[in-house]
Amino acid sequence: MEAKTDQGKVETTELVTFSRPVAECSLVDLGLALTEVKALLAKLQRIVV
């Protein structure tokens, strides 16, 4: 995530990294799983609040 401060400085924060096997990738596997979305949202909420 990148955010610009009041002084114009850009701050970059890594929210989360996901790792999945790629052996059998299908359209169902694209996007985020519910558990991944929950982890991402929790990290984002900790940063913003």
Question: Which one, of 29, 7, 32, 5, lies nearest residue 18 by Cα?
Answer: 32
Residue 16 has pLDDT above 90, yes or no: no
Confidence of residue 9 (pLDDT cuts 50, 70, 90): very high
Question: Any idea what the Cα angle at residue 13 is, between residues 8 and 16, rounded to 5°?
Answer: 155
What is the chain's mean pLDDT, rounded? 81
- Predicted TM-score (pTM) of this structure: 0.54
What are the angstrom distances between the C-alpha of 14 and each of 18, 39, 43? 12, 13, 9
